[in-house]
Amino acid sequence: VLRTADYRDNDKMLTLFSREIGRIDALSRGCKKTKSSLLACSQPFICGMYSYYIRQGKYYISQCEITDTFYALREDVERFSVAAYIAEVTEKTINHEEQNEKLFSLVANCFFTLKRENSALSTLVFYLVKYTDISGYRPNIYSCIKCGKKTAKSGNYFSGKEGGVICSECAKDIQSAKKISGDALKTIHGILSSQSKDIKEIAEYEYLYEIKEIYMKNIEDIIERKLYSAAFLDRIFINKL
Ligand SMILES: [Zn+2]
């Protein structure tokens, strides 16, 4: 469940993301009643086997066998804010009954990783870099996108808008270019070439934070919308540096 929205007195509209058929928006009727069998499964982040039926073109949840509630995320504000952000970006990306298996695997992988303590920032950065890649916006990180000069060990700039790394010379003319450290670039490269199964402590906090800043701006450009969860996430992480 990526999103829930109140609907009438006792119902909720759930946005589900499935491996097989992509996005489904289904009504969970009566789920706000305390005795409802759908109460527990009609919450954000719940993972399970949902059954549904279609009547007059509308989708209704009939039952659910919960696989995981991701309860740990609700008790940790950092991990919760990352989960909310991942859910919102994903929800804004997927289309009705359109399979997107790569994104589904990435999201599932990130949620299960977020169950571990201290996994918030590394999981967020992993998602940001992989999401950009899956969406077809993989930046060029090996050479300057303007003049083609090979990326130097340090002193590089980066612009998601322009599509990657820019050398210090060319960066003078590009407003969206922000400094990026050699370590941050190395980390991005590492994530792009890794299997989406291994999110580890991928780097030092500072590099991760640097990548987070660059990529989160980039993603708002890609999906062309402001994200509510991004502002919340920024408030949580800003105090750590
Ligand atoms: Zn250049």
Using pLDDT thresholds of 50, 70 and 90, give the confidence band for residue 198. Answer: low
- Ligand 1 mean position, distance from CA 157 (Å): 10
* Section 154-183 average pLDDT: 92
Using pLDDT thresholds of 50, 70 and 90, give the confidence band for residue 145. Answer: very high
pLDDT at 192: 86
User: What would the pLDDT profile of 64-97 be if each residue is shown by its tens digit?
Assistant: 999 999 999 989 999 999 999 999 999 999 999 9
Using pLDDT thresholds of 50, 70 and 90, give the confidence band for residue 157. Answer: very high
- Ligand 1 mean position, distance from CA 129 (Å): 23
Two structure tokens written together for 222: 């890609």
Most trustworthy range by pLDDT among 20-34, 176-190, 219-233: 20-34
pLDDT at 180: 93
Using pLDDT thresholds of 50, 70 and 90, give the confidence band for residue 32. Answer: very high
pLDDT at 201: 57
- Ligand 1 mean position, distance from CA 173 (Å): 10
- Ligand 1 mean position, distance from CA 170 (Å): 4
